[in-house]
Chain A
Amino acid sequence: MNLFVGSELWPYILVIVAGFLPTDVWRWLAVVSARKLDEDSEIMILIRGVATALVAGVIMRLVLFPGGDLEALPLYVRAGSVAVAFVAYLLLKRSMLAGVLAGEAVVILGAYYTLPH
């Protein structure tokens, strides 16, 4: 496997082996087992917690330590956009659109005033 790390094929291998298979195995398992699961059983609540924390974590990693071209945007703009999106969502009748638009405005204006273009 190390042979492929960093090669042109690497992202495709990751998509199939680290993305597709571990995702679809749950979908297939559901079909094969087809048991009625108690969504409020202890194990399902634990799994839900881990999944939620993971997704929240990957979002924060993408926003605060994105790498690539996004790292050029100052950290305070990236962190500020999330904070503004969150506050706007809470203040404006829990509207997802309002939250996203407010956060986007911070990102775009921040990029406009802090980056060469």
Chain B
Amino acid sequence: MPKPRKKAAPAAKSERPDSARIFLHGARAVFTSVQAMVLFATFIGYGGLCVSLGFPLGATLLSSAVIFAMPSQLLVVSGYIGGNTLPVIALGVFLSAARLLPATVTMLPYLRGKLWQQLIASHFVAVTVWVEGKRLLPSRPANERLPFYFGFALMCVTMATLAAWIGYFLAGSLPRPLAIGLSFLTPMSFLIALIRNARDLVDYLALILGLVLAPLFVWLKLPLDLLWAGLLGGGIAWLIHRWKRARRAA
């Protein structure tokens, strides 16, 4: 820890905080975050799922680090196994990731900096970093937020990628029933998270329609099964929501 050289130092310090120290504070906060522990469990499960589906280890780790959004990752892996074409998978991912736009916008007030810093910072916005960022950032001085955020977010991605590797390794060495149990951990917890996070009628309707339509369309061997389930399920949910509201207003 470098000591302030002169009396002038404190003033300079308030403008440029000791970024490295605050970065480490952020990184350390990951290990006391329950939300982050849930994230790691999810990524351990993701690693296990990737083994069972024959997705290579390198691609599993790469997807954890560069996508870092579990719904997108599940869509890529599922599309790969289902033999879907690249544009179909990309469109599904594009539609499912739209929720990251409002989430990122609400994070930006806490991440003031240069454009390139904000662009890099935005990569880490997903449920965990969003929830924990909103919990941890507001109480910190404005000039400490960006280094704290980067410490927290980078540690999250690093640990999540490591967790995926651990899951990949575990699934290969556990007894078969446990390995299969591990593979179902992430789909199962995501399903319950969807139910828990549903707020309005439109959420519940879209959830139920997606649950019913997707297997139906796969079973009917409809091309672009998932996309249709998403567009129709979401579209119908939205129409019913509008109709209900119009009736309430009338």
Interface residues of A (CB under 8 A from B): 1, 8, 10-31, 33-37, 39, 42, 44-70, 73, 78, 81-82, 85-86, 89, 94, 96, 99-100, 103-104, 107-109, 111-112, 115, 117
The reply to whether the CB of B28 lies closer than 8 angstroms to some CB of chain A is: no
Q: Is the Cβ of A58 less than 8 Å from the Cβ of B214?
A: yes
Question: Is B11 part of the contact surface with A, judged by Cβ < 8 Å?
Answer: no
Contact check, A56 vs B207: say whether CB atoms are below 8 A apart.
Answer: yes
Knowing A17-B86, A46-B235, A54-B226, the reply to whether A69 touches B76 (Cβ < 8 A) is no
> B interface, by DSSP: helix, strand, loop or mixed?
helix
Given A27-B122, A49-B234, A69-B52, residue A59 in contact with residue B192 (CB < 8 A):
no
A26 touches B230 (CB 8 A): no
Interface majority SS on A: helix, strand, loop or mixed? helix
**By the criterion CB–CB under 8 Å, are B184 and A58 in contact?**
no
Complex: A58 Cα to B75 Cα, angstroms: 6
Q: A37-B102, A57-B229 are in contact. Are A96 and B196 (CB under 8 A)?
A: yes
Chain A residues with Cβ below 8 Å from B82 are 61, 65, 67
Chain B contacts of A108 at CB under 8 A? 177-178, 180-181
A-B contact pairs, 17 of them (CB 8 A): A20-B63, A24-B123, A31-B122, A34-B108, A39-B102, A48-B202, A50-B235, A53-B232, A57-B229, A59-B74, A59-B211, A66-B81, A67-B53, A70-B180, A81-B188, A96-B192, A99-B192
Closest 4 CB pairs of A and B: A53-B233, A50-B234, A57-B214, A56-B210
A22 touches B238 (CB 8 A): no
**Across the interface, do A57 and B226 meet the contact criterion of CB distance under 8 Å?**
yes
Q: How far is the CB of B85 from chain A (nearest CB, A)?
A: 8
CA distance A103 to B184 in the complex (A): 9
Residues of B contacting A96 in the complex (Cβ-Cβ under 8 angstroms):
189, 192-193, 196
Given contacts A61-B82, A96-B192, contact A15 B66 (CB under 8 A): yes
B81 A68 Cβ-Cβ under 8 A: yes
Binary flags per residue of B26-51, CB closer than 8 Å to A gives 1, else 0: 00000000000000000000000101
Contact A28 B122 (CB under 8 A): yes
Specify which chain B residues have a CB less than 8 angstroms from the CB of A69 in the assembled complex: 51-54, 180, 183
Residue of B97, B180, B234 near A53 (CB, 8 A) is B234
Question: Which A residue sits closest to B66, measured CB to CB?
Answer: A20
Knowing A18-B86, A82-B188 touch, does A57 contact B105 (C-beta < 8 A)?
no
Chain A residues whose C-beta falls within 8 Å of the C-beta of B243 in the assembled complex: none
Q: Identify which of B1-9, B14-22, B88-96, B138-146 touches chain A.
A: B88-96
Bound Cα distance from A94 to B80, whole angstroms: 34
Interchain CB contact under 8 A, B233 and A56: yes
What residues of B have a CB within 8 angstroms of the CB of A54 in the complex? 71, 75, 92, 95-96, 210, 226-227, 229-230, 233-234
Query: Using Cβ atoms and an 8 Å threshold, which residues of chain B touch A68?
Result: 52-54, 81
**Docked complex Cα distance between A27 and B108 (Å):** 11
CB of A98 to closest CB in B, whole Å: 9
> A28 CA to B77 CA in the complex, in Å?
23
- Whether A31 contacts B229 in the complex (CB less than 8 A), given A53-B209, A62-B187, A107-B181, comes out as no
Docked Cα-Cα span, A100 to B193, in Å, equals 10
Which residues in A have their C-beta under 8 angstroms from that of B249?
Answer: none
Closest CB-CB distance, B228 to chain A, in whole Å? 9
Query: Given the complex of chains A and B, what is the CA–CA distance between A28 and B195 in angstroms?
Result: 28
